Amino acid sequence: TYSETSTYPPGHFRNPLAWGSLEKKFVKLTENYLRPEKVRDIIDLVKKFDSLRDVNELTEELLIKK
């Protein structure tokens, strides 16, 4: 039997999630609310966040329009 104890849970700032795990979590949490294309667009914008000319590019994608 293998056992491991972690002082900080995954996602804690001292034990951050790997990008792939974060991406999977985002997809799982949004799959019932957003189209897969929109989820991919948001992920792509977050990946290049530091090089965005205007943060509105991301915030516009995050809006859910009726």
How do residues 13-64 score in pLDDT, each as one tens digit?
999 999 999 999 999 999 999 999 999 999 999 999 999 999 999 999 998 8
**Residue 45 falls inside a structural domain:** yes
Could you give the number of structural domains in the chain?
1
**Residue 7 falls inside a structural domain:** no
**Residue 13 falls inside a structural domain:** no
CA–CA dist 59, 26 (Å, integer): 16
| Per-residue pLDDT, 60 | 94
pTM above 0.75, yes or no: yes
Longest dimension (CA), the chain: 51
Domain interval for residue 43: 19-62
Instruction: Give the count of beta carbons closer than 10 Å to the beta carbon of residue 57.
Output: 13
